[in-house]
A and B are shown apart, each in its own frame.
Chain A
Amino acid sequence: GESVGLHLPTLSVQEGDNSIINCAYSNSASDYFIWYKQESGKGPQFIIDIRSNMDKRQGQRVTVLLNKTVKHLSLQIAATQPGDSAVYFCAEMGGKLIFGQGTELSVKP
């Protein structure tokens, strides 16, 4: 069936560096994509979204890039901080929200 997957299960970065988390999706009909952050013991927290008619969207310290040609989504976090440590999920909307497995981001002080 359709699925959303992540290239790397874990990512370790130094505090202050930029982080890039990647995601591949398989449903070419999906028209809405969301990145969620999930800290231990908490529910997923909305970070940023993008629609299929865009290829880039920026928020505060975060940027999402969408490449529909290769069905690839990425989340860039600028100046990564210890508070950014969490599991990050990409999710696609093609009728219903389908989540990928998640990437665990670890920030080293």
Chain B
Amino acid sequence: EAGVAQSPRYKIIEKRQSVAFWCNPISGHATLYWYQQILGQGPKLLIQFQNNGVVDDSQLPKDRFSAERLKGVDSTLKIQPAKLEDSAVYLCASSLGPGEETQYFGPGTRLLVL
């Protein structure tokens, strides 16, 4: 079974530029999550989708971050404009859905904002 796919794996941008990350969850997984992991810390949830609907985006900085999952499968996370403090690993995870809470993570996208 293929795991969660993410691209790109690495990205370096200058502050105030924009960047987008892509995630393809495990086939059949209805729930998709985006996490931010700052160096030395545990992942922090940014947004959770159930199919193509947002379940929780309370921790998403909506002035600069946006995410979508239009067809209920793959998803994109965008940052515009980026700040220095956005340097982190952005992890995508998926789970089967309600009642099946185990989350499986992708390899992450490592973002460096200069």
Contact = CB atoms under 8 A, between A and B. Distances in A.
Same complex for A and B? Answer: yes
Contact of A91 (B42, B48, B108): B42
A97 interface: yes
Which interface class (under 10, 10 to 19, 20 to 34, 35 or more) fits A? 20 to 34
Given A96-B48, A96-B56, A44 B91 contact: yes
A73 B8 CA distance: 35
Nearest to B10: A41
A102 B37 CA distance: 12
Range, interface on chain B: 20 to 34
Interface in A34-85: 34, 36, 41-46, 49
Given A32-B101, A43-B93, 20 more contacts: A4-B42, A36-B105, A42-B107, A42-B108, A43-B91, A43-B105, A43-B106, A43-B107, A45-B105, A89-B43, A91-B42, A96-B56, A97-B33, A97-B45, A97-B103, A98-B45, A99-B42, A100-B42, A101-B40, A102-B42
14 contacts: A32-B101, A34-B102, A34-B103, A41-B107, A42-B108, A43-B4, A43-B93, A43-B106, A44-B91, A44-B105, A45-B105, A93-B101, A99-B42, A100-B42
